[in-house]
Structure 1
Amino acid sequence: MNSLSEDARLRPTWHPVASATGHPSYSGVFPRDERAAGEARVMVATVLAVWHLPRLVADAELVASELVTNAVWHARGPDVGVTVTRTGHARVCVAVTDGSPLLPRLRVAGLLAETGRGLRLVEGLSRDWGAAPCARGKSVWAEVGTG
């Protein structure tokens, strides 16, 4: 990758958007590669700082990272979408869209397995989570926080 495209990648590609629920949201699109999860964590941490929700950062970052990593490994298409929506006083929803129509499922990972635990982490850290088909493939979401 040349330095110009490397510089372009360092600029945030996410921005505030209007949500269907009326709650504030930020949305971004990241290239579907090994750096996407880290970029999603930065986006989530920054958005939660803007909303003054530091207590949610660790859980929301991990949820975003796991959902984006699943999209990078299992989906199709050149990019992954990430949206963070404030759904309550101290609650956010992290949603990841990708180009695959296949919905995720919880797995039971073997004791020595190196993969297969991401959605269990998401389930443990979130109030609720789910997945739904969308025009682009699917959206996998998780709600973190209280209130």
Structure 2
Amino acid sequence: MGYPAYSQTFPCRPETAEIGRKLVHEALGAWHLDDLTEPAELIISELVANAASHTPCRSIRLVVGRPSPTRVRIAVVDRAPSRLPVLGTADAEAEGGRGLLLIDVLADRWGYTLLGSHSKRGPWGKETWAELKAAG
């Protein structure tokens, strides 16, 4: 038996972050994990912002799941496997560039998974994800 997950596809635009925050809020409320809502909302906002800023995708899939009883996974799936997330350093004067740094602080762990494979075309997309540890 698998663990529950919520996922929906939306336009790849910065405004989708608000929808993502609502999805996270509802999922965590259904699972009685309200204490994770604030960091999870920040994480989904940053993941959406990264996809909207750094990929040419028209749509993204938002995913909120429970890979185990003690973990919550927040993810964004896009069709830009060649644009991999890289944890960098932010210039103190820069307006952006801190999204993955924030996720790195908030999440128990984070990363990306390439999706699909074809002998000539390679993967069709990637899932950038972050996990929070739930009290268990």
TM-score band by shorter chain is: 0.7 to 0.9
Q: Distance in 1 between matches of 2:16 and 2:60?
A: 8
How much has 1:93 moved relative to structure 2?
Answer: 0.4
How large is the Cα RMSD of the aligned pairs? 1.4
8 Å CA contact retained: 2:28, 2:37: yes
Q: 1:98-113 counterparts in 2 under 5 A?
A: 98-101=78-81, 102-113=83-94
Correspondence for 1:40 among 20, 34, 47: 20
The answer as to whether partners of 1:29 and 1:79 remain within 8 angstroms in 2 is yes
Amino acid at match of 1:144: L
- TM-score, length of structure 2 as denominator length: 0.87
After superposition, the C-alpha distances for 1:8-45 in whole angstroms (9 at most, x for unaligned) are: xxxxxxxxxxxxx8111111111111211111111100
**In the aligned structure 2, how far is the partner of 1:93 from the partner of 1:143?**
4
Instruction: Tell me by how many angstroms 1:90 deviates.
Output: 4.7
- Partner SS state of residue 110, structure 2: strand
Alpha-carbon distance between aligned partners in 2 of 1:144 and 1:65, rounded to the nearest angstrom: 15
Which residue pairs with 2:129 in the alignment?
141
> What is the aligned partner in structure 2 of residue 123 from structure 1?
104
Which one of the candidate residues 33, 37, 42 is aligned to 1:62?
A: 42
Q: How does 1:12-91 map to 2 (within 5 A)?
A: 22-91=2-71
Rounded to whole Å, the distance in 1 between the matches of 2:76 and 2:69 is 22
Mark the runs of 5 or more structure 1 residues left unpaired by the alignment.
Answer: 1-20
Q: So what's the TM-score if we normalise by structure 1?
A: 0.81
Count of residue correspondences:
127
Structure with more contact order per residue of length (Cα contacts < 8 Å, sep ≥ 6): 2
Q: Secondary structure at the match of 1:37?
A: helix
The one-letter amino acid paired with 1:26 is Y
- Report SS of the residue matched to 1:139: strand
